[in-house]
């Protein structure tokens, strides 16, 4: 019997392999596939509201899946998966969105204005990412760097090891980030301000899971969004990066939501 296919789409700056600790929980029951680095394919350059990234994901699924997938995405990956499913619902069986960072209504209009004026860099991680270090002499120096950063100190040790393994590669200067910093910045600068315009209810079952202490989500927006599209709304321990901070707890919540969705689909 063929397994259901689960596709995972990563957050900005974190290659797909960074989530191996989380995804290991699903490999026995599902065929797990994951796009490596959204925005790095020159055929799908980063554009405003991420529609090209959705097309990149669609092309990846067309080439790597023989049946509709369970689309799971974190942050960037959650919204790109949603947009892709809106464009090509035939490619998806269910959606699980993890901590999607977006606002709608008046807040969406304000964010659109902030992007236009350049002030959005002050409220998104774009400003911080632009000065991100990307080269190290050797692995010891790279590991010491990441372990000294508050962001990574919250990671599960296995998630940090996965990120280091998949997030840096040998280069002429020693070791370099595999995720291009300028691409990461541009993705933050073009975050969607138009998710509210996807007004037709998506006829695909789903769930939206946000971190209990996440500062990246706007709860009123999530409530309105999940009601519109018929998704379940629930929380998981941790902040915005909870799939990397607390992967076991995140997997528990994802499994619970998937069990309910797949049971209803088979009923």
First to last CA, the chain: 19
Instruction: State which residues form the domain around 207.
Output: 4-266
Query: Does 126 have pLDDT greater than 60?
Result: no
The string of pLDDT tens digits covering residues 12-32 is 999 999 999 999 999 999 999
Distance CA 67, CA 94 (A): 12
The string of pLDDT tens digits covering residues 200-222 is 999 999 999 999 999 999 999 99
Other residues' Cβ atoms within 10 Å of the Cβ of residue 123: 11
Mean pLDDT value across the chain: 92
Domains held by the chain: number: 1
* pLDDT level of residue 163 (50, 70, 90 thresholds): very high
Q: Which whole-number Å values give the CA distances from 20 to 105, 136, 163, 180, 227, in the listed order?
A: 36, 24, 9, 21, 31
The CATH number given to whatever domain includes residue 174 is 3.40.50.1820
* pLDDT level of residue 198 (50, 70, 90 thresholds): very high
* pLDDT level of residue 60 (50, 70, 90 thresholds): very high
């Amino acid at each position: 019997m063929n397994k259901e296919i689960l596709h995972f789409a990563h957050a900005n700056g974190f290659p797909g392999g960074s989530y191996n600790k989380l995804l290991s929980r699903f490999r026995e029951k599902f065929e797990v596939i994951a796009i490596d680095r959204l925005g790095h394919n020159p055929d799908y350059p980063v554009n405003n509201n991420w529609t090209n990234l959705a097309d990149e994901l669609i092309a990846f699924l067309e080439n790597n899946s023989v049946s509709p997938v369970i689309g799971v995405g974190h942050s960037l990956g959650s919204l790109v998966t949603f947009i892709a499913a809106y464009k090509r619902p035939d490619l998806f069986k269910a959606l699980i969105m993890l901590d999607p960072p977006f606002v709608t209504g008046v807040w969406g209009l304000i964010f659109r204005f902030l992007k236009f004026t350049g002030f959005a860099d002050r409220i998104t991680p774009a400003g911080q990412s632009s000065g991100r270090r990307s080269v190290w002499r050797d692995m010891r120096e790279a590991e010491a760097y990441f372990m000294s950063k508050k962001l990574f100190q919250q990671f599960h040790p296995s998630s940090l090891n996965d990120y280091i393994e998949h997030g840096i590669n040998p280069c002429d200067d020693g070791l370099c980030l595999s995720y291009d910093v300028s691409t990461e910045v541009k993705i933050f600068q073009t975050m969607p301000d138009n998710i509210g315009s996807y007004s037709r209810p998506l006829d695909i079952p789903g769930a939206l899971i946000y971190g209990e202490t996440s500062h990246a989500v706007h709860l009123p927006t999530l409530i309105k969004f999940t009601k519109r599209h018929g998704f379940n709304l629930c929380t998981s321990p941790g902040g915005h990066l909870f799939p990397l901070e607390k992967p076991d707890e995140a997997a528990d919540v994802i499994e619970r939501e998937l069990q309910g969705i797949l049971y209803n689909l088979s009923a």
